[in-house]
């Protein structure tokens, strides 16, 4: 589905990352995939994973830094020449903000969550737009981000991250409108709870995992591989008519009222 395509995946932290599952699925579908790492602490692990899929290009990128975002775009232009897809799987909030009540969110905690989890998508789209636009007659390029039901419904302890995800989903719609004339699609996947490094920061996250098999219509938790398969679809030309959308991959949990 992605034969001959080139793209970059941000957000790989370890082998359990949804970002890693998407990178692996994209490579299996024929794409050339570049990877980023947030800090030097993650560099060795990301490169070790990347070697298993033949990744040749790695870039440091703290998405809270405009300089590093631009350096990433410059590096991708130098090494790949163009981008057919960009995967934004980045989110962060202070651990202390992910417990108790949302009303206790600090000003700085709110700023950090919005900057890293939401605004970074806009910053990346702006910097990488020249690489993504005008992909060729009859073709589109694709930007994909990850969200969660907590951006639309109240999920205990998700707090400021839920508000950041709501802003992220609104950004998807506005970016889709802005970038569509250049042949760039922008979509999000709202994944069910998956045990990842970032999810571990949410207080009582295990309760969400335990609830899914009992209540979700498909009576199961979803896997990172299921999310990655949906992501591969959205990155491909099979989804060429889809933009500005949130695709739920959560075993149907989002349809429940109570």
Q: Is the dihedral of CA 147, 243, 16, 49 positive or negative?
A: negative
User: Could you tell me which residues are beta bridge partners of residue 144?
Assistant: 87, 187
In angstroms, the CA 159 to CA 106 distance is: 11
If one counts every other C-beta atom within 10 angstroms of the C-beta of residue 139, the result is: 12
User: How many CA atoms, within 13 angstroms, populate the side-chain half-sphere of residue 63?
Assistant: 27
In angstroms, the CA 74 to CA 201 distance is: 33
Tokens 């789209």: give the residue: 125
Burial class of residue 124 in the structure, from the number of CB atoms within 10 Å of its CB (0-12 exposed, 13-18 middle, 19+ buried): buried
End-to-end CA distance of the chain: 38
| Cβ(133)–Cβ(175) below 8 Å | no
User: What is the set of active-site residues?
Assistant: 148, 158
User: How many CA atoms, within 13 angstroms, populate the side-chain half-sphere of residue 64?
Assistant: 12
């Amino acid at each position: 589905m992605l034969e001959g395509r080139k793209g970059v995946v941000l957000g790989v932290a370890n082998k359990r990352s949804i970002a890693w599952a998407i990178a692996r699925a994209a490579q299996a579908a024929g794409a050339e995939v570049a990877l980023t790492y947030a800090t030097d602490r993650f560099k060795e692990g990301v490169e070790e994973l990347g070697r298993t899929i033949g990744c040749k290009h790695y870039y440091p990128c703290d998405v809270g830094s405009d300089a590093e975002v631009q350096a990433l775009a410059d590096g991708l232009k130098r090494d790949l020449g163009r981008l057919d897809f960009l995967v934004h799987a980045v989110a962060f909030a202070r651990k202390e903000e992910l417990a108790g009540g949302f009303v206790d969110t600090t000003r700085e905690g709110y700023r950090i969550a919005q900057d890293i989890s939401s605004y970074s998508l806009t910053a990346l789209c702006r910097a990488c737009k020249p690489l993504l636009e005008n992909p060729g007659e009859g073709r589109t390029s694709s930007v994909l981000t990850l969200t969660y039901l907590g951006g639309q419904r109240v999920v205990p302890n998700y707090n400021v991250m839920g508000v950041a995800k709501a802003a992220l989903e609104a950004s998807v719609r506005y970016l889709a409108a802005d970038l569509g004339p250049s042949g760039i699609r922008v979509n999000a996947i709202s994944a069910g709870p998956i045990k990842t490094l970032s999810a571990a920061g949410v207080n009582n996250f295990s309760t969400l995992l335990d609830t899914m098999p009992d209540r979700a219509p498909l009576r199961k938790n979803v896997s990172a591989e299921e999310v990655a398969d949906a992501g591969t679809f959205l990155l491909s030309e099979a989804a060429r008519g889809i933009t500005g959308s949130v695709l739920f991959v959560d075993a149907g949990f989002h349809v429940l009222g109570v």
